Structure 1
Amino acid sequence: MNAHSKLNPSGSSALSAEARVARYDWQKLSSELSGFGCSVMEKLLSPEECREIAGLYPQEEHFRSHIHMARHGFGKGEYRYFKYPLPDLLGGLRTALYPRLAEVANDWNTRMGIDQRYPANHAAFLKQCHDQGQTRPTPLLLQYVPGDFNCLHQDLYGDLAFPLQVAILLSEPGKDFTGGEFVLTEQRPRMQSRVEVVPLRQGDAVAFAVHNRPVQGSKGSYRVNLKHGVSRLRSGMRHTVGIIFHDAK
């Protein structure tokens, strides 16, 4: 069986994705997301699945565009945006993860006094994106070599943006690469920035806030601003897949 067929198992990917997402303690993950802006799902993908997805990188038929970060001031490194249809494994995970994260997103918006509410399933949310002219898929595959890094940023591709996203590390730290830590910064009003370094192993996923999250203060909840990035790669090669839930213009 080749990599493409494994990534596109006929009829089984949605069930497989839902089953693997359901095995996590979502009450604990939601609490960590609300408390720290990020939470790790260990071993979301197997090492074999990680290698298969990373192996798609040179196969241009899977992608709609190829971005070199240095050309845009994003850092140093490169990534490719997948085109529709997504590989079944990634599409299935995007569909299965969304409703779990939508509950968190709706709770956050309530606490922050934001009127936007997200529908219970991903297809309905994508329809909202497409109705606003945001039709281009945003899941992406990133590749770093020594010296590469990703500047602190927020993935906001249009007026309609889902406030949480997921990144899955496809390479094994210490074996495939060194350096290249995932970092998250948080800026609270009138305070110094807080930095979270998130340790990941191959196949681990981190869910994190894209833009804002609520923090409880003495006079109710207030918004803090978050950005994420990747520190400098010291050696080897690092691949990551990013699952962003809104589409782009």
Structure 2
Amino acid sequence: MPTSTVDTGRVRSNRTWLPWATAVCWLLTLSYFPVSLVVAHGWPAGYSMSGNYISDLGITRCGEYTDRDGASRWVCSPDHAVQNVMFVSTGLLTFAGALGWARMWRGRRFRAGCALVAVAGLGITGIGLAPWDIRPQAHDTIALAQWFAQLAGMVLIMAEVARRRRGLAVGTMLAVAISVIGGVFLFARNHFGLGAGVSERIAFDTLTVWSGQVGCVLLLTPEGGRRGGRHPETGRSNRRRHG
């Protein structure tokens, strides 16, 4: 009798705090956008959303830099430390959110997708720990790996999300498509006129926008967005019986 009571209390506790904590982690990633805007606003010579890369906000030394297309740009980010801390924290929040979500829903593909999104989160953290002007090769390699991980993760997650939350599934599908299009623009010569900065944001920042959508669904939906299926802790059906 006492054991049963303790087990039931643990299940109820988990059902209460896990969806909430996971949703909060996802939603807090959105702070990346206002913080980045503040850092960009602090540039003495002005920051160009199209001409400058996202990573330029975290470059630690002022100077003239040349990208792979041979185009040069002036970079001076006085608040680079703030931006790099933001990269690290956004990555860790993404990592925590993905792991929390993996515990809430079932499915091997879904959990594999969450694991890849968690890897993408670690990639964002790595970008903050390896500013481009200090470790350019490591920075670019981590960023590329992050992009592939976020795409593969969202694709694997999509099937389970479609079964449970169709609205989120549509958002996930759009995030994948937009990110792929951004990647094509980013690696194309002259970026189809959009500029490297805009192309890079379309390719990479879709993950953070999607994270906010996931956070809203988990926060506003009872039992963290579960619809039908079985509870991950008890194995009992989540569907209510009528009659």
Query: TM-score scaled by structure 1?
Result: 0.29
Please identify which structure carries the higher helix content. 2
The higher-RCO structure (CA 8 Å, 6+ apart) is: 1
Query: TM-score scaled by structure 2?
Result: 0.30
Higher CA-based Rg: 2
Please identify which structure carries the higher strand content. 1
